[in-house]
């Protein structure tokens, strides 16, 4: 291309420079197209179809399914398979799409997708597919941050609590959890500790002021579990004990109290 390099034409000089830079005639299908807004591409497609329909009349002719070829092209451009529907091929390894009519074997296209696919049942199947199973019983497992499991882990630490060898009563234990974990009576910072529980028990009059902290045993110096993973920073508007239990769980934390 020596003649292009020596050309005095500004157009040829520009083309030559782009060839040297490797930016001349870029590939149309590349990741760089992602910077072009989708709406701009759709607007361009509409203009192309409108102009093409003037000399290609079949683009505007309605077919037996009620759509014109131009409308099908537009719907194909706009269409995205929802993530919760997944592969539409029922032979795929990870397939959970549910057809509205299981006997219907009609081919799925963007323009008949909503009629052939049951979105609600497909979304439900997607969620069920994500739930782990117990390796022993096969029952659905609880999420680690669920209310029930968070409560279970907390009770696992509090149940061994004893004062002078005597366990805390069920009602006192419920009140302690409510006041220190669900609706803290004061804006306490950090984890609940053995010392904080000791001060709480004294303030409630459940132990005498002469009782030493060493008389409380069965728990660690710091309670590792809490309900923040379940509730987050916001406190619940109702007590934890009023929350309905998961019917599929193989245990109930309430029975541990």
pLDDT at residue number 68? 95
Same domain for 196 and 113: no
pLDDT at 102 over 70: yes
Of 229 and 219, which is predicted with more confidence?
219
Kindly state whether residue 138 falls inside one of the protein's structural domains.
Answer: no
Same domain for 250 and 152: yes
Same domain for 155 and 252: yes
Q: What is the mean pLDDT of residues 182-208?
A: 82
Same domain for 191 and 123: no
pLDDT at residue number 187? 58
Of 242 and 175, which is predicted with more confidence?
175
Q: What's the CA gap between 80 and 154, in Å, rounded?
A: 44
pLDDT in tens, 22-36: 888 888 777 777 777
DSSP 8-state symbol, 43: H
- Helical (H) or strand (E) element with 167: strand 166-167
Same domain for 215 and 164: yes
Distances in Å between the alpha carbon of 36 and those of 39, 42, 44, 147?
Answer: 9, 11, 12, 44
Residue 79's pLDDT band (cuts 50, 70, 90):
very high
pLDDT in tens, 122-173: 999 999 888 889 899 989 888 888 888 888 899 999 999 998 888 989 999 9
Same domain for 251 and 172: yes
Same domain for 239 and 185: yes
Which of 98, 130, 162 is where one domain is finished?
A: 130
Residue 58 Cα to chain centre, angstroms: 44
Kindly state whether residue 28 falls inside one of the protein's structural domains.
Answer: no
Q: What's the CA gap between 123 and 148, in Å, rounded?
A: 24
Same domain for 227 and 159: yes
Same domain for 167 and 106: no
pLDDT in tens, 172-192: 999 998 888 887 655 566 788
Same domain for 157 and 125: no
Residue 256's pLDDT band (cuts 50, 70, 90):
low
Which of 61, 96, 130 is where one domain is finished?
A: 130
What is the total count of domains within the chain?
2
For 167, the domain range is 147-256
Q: Check: CB of residue 183 under 8 Å from CB of residue 227.
A: no
Which of 65, 96, 130 is where one domain is finished?
A: 130
78: tokens are 């706009």
Q: Mean pLDDT across the chain, nearest whole number?
A: 83
pLDDT at residue number 230? 55
Kindly state whether residue 140 falls inside one of the protein's structural domains.
Answer: no
Query: No. of H helices and E strands in the chain?
Result: 10, 3
Kindly state whether residue 2 falls inside one of the protein's structural domains.
Answer: no
pLDDT at residue number 26? 80
Kindly state whether residue 181 falls inside one of the protein's structural domains.
Answer: yes
Tokens 């366990």 -> residue: 167
Kindly state whether residue 11 falls inside one of the protein's structural domains.
Answer: no
pLDDT at 196 over 80: yes
Kindly state whether residue 116 falls inside one of the protein's structural domains.
Answer: yes
The answer to which of 49-53, 82-86, 229-233 has the lowest mean pLDDT is: 229-233
Distances in Å between the alpha carbon of 174 and those of 151, 154, 178, 193?
Answer: 11, 12, 6, 17
Same domain for 174 and 113: no
% of residues, the chain, pLDDT over 70 = 86
Kindly state whether residue 232 falls inside one of the protein's structural domains.
Answer: yes
Q: Where are the alpha helices (DSSP H) in the chain?
A: 2-6, 10-21, 38-55, 69-78, 113-116, 119-130, 147-158, 170-177, 194-204, 228-231
Same domain for 107 and 208: no
């Amino acid at each position: 291309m020596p003649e292009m390099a020596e050309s005095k034409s500004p157009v040829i000089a520009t083309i030559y420079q782009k060839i040297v830079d490797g930016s001349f005639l870029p590939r149309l299908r590349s990741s760089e197209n992602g910077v072009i807004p989708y709406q701009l591409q759709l607007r361009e497609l509409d203009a192309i179809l409108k102009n093409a329909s003037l000399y290609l009349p079949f683009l505007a002719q309605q077919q037996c399914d009620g759509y014109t070829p131009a409308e099908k092209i537009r719907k194909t451009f706009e269409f995205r398979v929802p993530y919760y529907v997944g592969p539409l091929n029922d032979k795929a390894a990870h397939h959970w799409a549910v057809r509205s009519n299981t006997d219907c074997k009609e081919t799925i296209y963007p323009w008949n997708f909503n009629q052939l696919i049951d979105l609600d049942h497909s979304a439900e199947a997607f969620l069920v597919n994500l739930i782990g199973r117990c390796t022993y019983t096969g029952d659905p497992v609880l999420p680690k941050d669920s209310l029930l499991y968070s409560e279970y882990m907390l009770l696992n630490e509090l149940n061994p609590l004893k004062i002078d060898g005597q366990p805390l009563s069920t009602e006192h234990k419920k009140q302690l959890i409510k006041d220190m974990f669900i609706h803290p009576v004061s804006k306490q910072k950090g984890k609940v500790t053995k010392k904080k529980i000791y001060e709480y028990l004294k303030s409630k009059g459940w132990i005498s002021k002469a009782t030493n902290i060493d008389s409380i045993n069965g728990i660690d110096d710091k309670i590792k579990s809490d309900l923040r993973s379940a509730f987050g920073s916001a406190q619940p508007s109702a007590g934890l004990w009023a929350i309905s239990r998961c019917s599929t769980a193989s245990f109930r934390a309430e029975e541990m109290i």
